[in-house]
Structure 1
Amino acid sequence: MTASADDDGPSHGMSAATLRTLERASGGLASSSIGEMDQLLPWFRRLPADQRASVLLVIQTGAANFVEWLRDPTQAIRLTAEAFRAAPKDFSRWVSLRQTVELVRIAINILEREMPALAADDVERAVLTEAVLRYGREIAFAAATSYAAAAEARGAWDARLEALMVDGIVRGDAEESLLSRAAALGWDPAAEATVLVGASPSDDPPAVVYEVRSRAARIGRPVLLSVQGSRLVVVLAGPVDSPAGHEVLTRMADAFDKGPVVAGPTVAALADAYRSAADALSGLRAVVAWPDAPRPVRSTDLLPERALAGDPEAERQMIEKVVRPLVDVGGSLLETVEAYLEVGGVLESCAKRLFVHPNTVRYRLRRVTELTGYTASDPRDGLVLRMSLAVGRLARARGHW
């Protein structure tokens, strides 16, 4: 304890008798504050007994520190901060900053109402009233500082947890902890997920995180992200296969640096996001072979380039999407599309080669489009069809299907 007001130290001009009276009354003032909180704040009445006791501890500490501050006003910041350091570590988790402001307001109102009556005379009463106001300001700043520190600590922990999650998705880890971590970050594990990869726009990861989160907030989509060296990986929640979804992808691509941005396939849940990440990364490695690729480009649109780069998953998808449907349907569709591509897309030449009418060729090519989603007359789709047929022949020769 510091010296009393009779000593030479600063004491706001309060007499030793008044300081002793205030010290004896501090416990009763804290109890009065708790009683008024119980009357005015319905959420406070619902708190468990241990949490209410923690609030009482903070108020008692603050009241006792107020008396010490009157003895030595130079200790104001230290003593007010101690009131919140005395609280349990999880205090800020079950009492929000808004609720803390309500508690502080009620406690300060009690001090303003009851403390001046404890002063020895009018002069001390005026000094005491001013001291309560100044101390209330210090308490408010201490509360804000305490919650800011807690928020920074949670933010740093959340950022590390998020980086671990995204790293696990990229590595292909399908561990159970992924879903629990996602839930801890407020992500719906059952939501559809799409992974986007590209170059990071900055060497400052916090600035990149802020930019990506700002864009995601404006379009109303949750995201997980990680800056991995010069690469930025973003996991976007929600469907993106509609025109509106494509607009979402385009707006998110603006958060990346110049250069290609590849979006993997949309998967049904976060647990399958590793498949979207694998395809997106494969596409990012191969997109250099398509200089005019759109931005962003879907990994499924890069199947020829990925196959040339040696991606077995791309070869499998080409066989499943193009070759197998044409083989399974039977007839002459496979022969027709091969002949059409072989003659350079000239309809009449293809008809002569097959000894059929041009309208028959047109009908068969429409069927090919219905089965595969690719139009043989389109240059890009024609490349996909040609590459898929070549991959299919190689797979058949190796006995893989």
Structure 2
Amino acid sequence: MTDSPAQAQAGTIRLRLFGRTDVGRVREHNEDNFLIADLTRKSRSLLEQDRQQVVGERGTLMAVCDGMGGAAAGEVASELAVNIIYEKLAEGDVPRDRDDLARRLVRAVEAAGLRIYSEAKLDRQHRGMGTTATVAALIDSHLFLAQVGDSRGYILRGDRLVQVTRDQSLVNQLIEAGQLTEEEAENFEHNNIILQALGTADSVQVDLTYVELRRGDTLMMCSDGLSGMVRFDDLRETLRANDDPFEACRVLVEKANQAGGHDNITCIVAKFDGETLQPVSDEDAVLRYSKYSLPDDVANELTPAARRSGIKELDGPKIGETKDRLTDHGPSKSKVATTMVGGQSPLAGMDLGGKDKPLKGAWHEGPGAADDEVIIPVSGAPLWVLLAIVLGVFGAIIGLAFFLMRT
């Protein structure tokens, strides 16, 4: 039995934190969004007085979402995600314990995915939209991270930086299977393929991990516009050299832009302190990617069959949705944003209540560039199935191009 929030150190963990998002130097739309919220005070502000928090009985929430879909649809998806996740975790009773918080976190991410999927079917202009999501929450020393897609979470502990989330991408699956090395992955032709995203299907498999925080730990969450442009060693040294989260975010975004700024760039930096957190010790378990196992009764509630109970089965795209990806060919749409620091998005104040039943047969119809990120939501499938799909898709493209050239 886990401790209740009152027993589990609520109100005795302090954070200094900040978040920043930037359009980059190539993109014309910023399709990223982020969220920093004090759930106890129900505050989402990043004003100077809100950049320090004491973790209360409802906890602290942070999220980075990288939208996809083009023509403003990506920013709609990522904004829907952060709004719905916040609303789901801010409503209801205080979490009973950390397992209750973890369950609510997974459900909130799933609810966001279903809502984005439904909205995309209701509005033709938004068909095919989706978003990654990396979401962190805590009420005590257990920091939970819920992951869909390839945005990332890192922990800096002392001089060591560790990625504590796992990319849901074809490249990462090939690396884990021993088919690619880290060096080969940097130049891999199909590194734009991710395995799932919120909104591209009616359900997702949320990867739930955790970190047992120590005094002085730093959390950094980011979209691939940062992790894909700034080398790992530079990320570590920047976080070590900048104790102020505001300054750390500024320098990280600046480094991504100096490296080319090919994609939207978003990061959150949070530093943890407080007497309740244990100091770093030689006896601590090795900091690493660690999956969190919910109790059987809670885990059963989150199975696909249980998630669909009471929800009408929805039609929609399973393979082939695209995400605008970094490109060297320059901008092709009108610029609408540069940098946002805790600002209000165009969807602020939008009614997020219930909608009519989703339309049937809403398939993605928008054109995709050759370097767009392809979403193949087949998480858990054997590696040979993924490779067969990739080869089939690209073979069909080559065959079509040859046919068009001949005619």
TM range (shorter): under 0.3
Q: Which has the higher strand share?
A: 2
The normalised TM-score by structure 2 is: 0.20
The normalised TM-score by structure 1 is: 0.20
